[in-house]
Structure 1
Amino acid sequence: MKTTVVAIIGDWNGGHHGKFPLLLEYEPAEKERPLYSSEGWGHGFSGNRFTLEDLNKYGLLDIYDQPESRWAFQILQECLKNGDSSHVAGAALLSKLQDNLPDIPDSVKGYLSAKA
């Protein structure tokens, strides 16, 4: 099941005051590209599946260097530096998620659960 790890909801460039958040998700069952990076609650709007290396290659990793997601950015940077797999990085994110839960509105939580 896909887990939302980061939701940058604030006033980022293109975010329209939280209407289109940046999302980082992890799907352990996805063998090749388990990391999802997308823009918006619609899941798929400007989104795609990636490996850890892809996030770095396409410059997406740096967008998560924000106050509310810095913890995840640092984990991903460390995993990249260590040459860890995307699944090792995803497991590291999940291990720290409880202390860093994204602030997702209740009305959206149900939608995300249904789409998982």
Structure 2
Amino acid sequence: MNKYTDIVVIRGNWQGGHHGTHPKVLSITPESDKPFGVSEGWGHGLGGNNFSLKELVEQEFIEKFNTKESEAVYLKIKNAFKKGVNQNILAKQLLGELGKNA
């Protein structure tokens, strides 16, 4: 089983958000064929799934993180995809930069 590290947690008051107790979460595990996890909520929250970089961007799941709080990560992922960066290398870079603060 792959261990995910949360790199972005956005708390907020949105429909289904229960006043921030079900945050939008972006997680990564660099050694997976689908290294990006997107969910809303802790544990049994509103569900989520794991994605490849291509799926994350092309199916627009990354757009959940197009916010002021997560703009730097959002732009880094979008730009890496446009440049054709290997998804596992990107995941390792993000983990190195953000994992210690997660």
CA deviation map 1:23-65 (0-9, x unaligned): 11011232x1111111110167421110111011221111101
> For structure 1, which runs of at least 5 residues remain unmatched after alignment?
103-116
Query: Is the aligned partner of 1:38 residue 2:36?
Result: no
SS state of the match for residue 49, structure 1?
Answer: strand
Query: Is the aligned partner of 1:77 residue 2:78?
Result: yes
Partner Cα separation in structure 2 for residue 70 and residue 5 of structure 1: 12
* 1:29 matched residue in structure 2: 31
Q: What TM-score comes out, normalization by structure 2 length?
A: 0.83
Query: Is the aligned partner of 1:58 residue 2:44?
Result: no
Q: Report the count of equivalent residues.
A: 100
- Alpha-carbon shift at residue 92 of structure 1 (Å): 2.5
Partner Cα separation in structure 1 for residue 85 and residue 94 of structure 2: 13
Sequence identity, in percent? 33
Query: Is the aligned partner of 1:95 residue 2:96?
Result: yes
> For structure 2, which runs of at least 5 residues remain unmatched after alignment?
none
Root-mean-square deviation (CA, aligned residues, Å) is 2.0
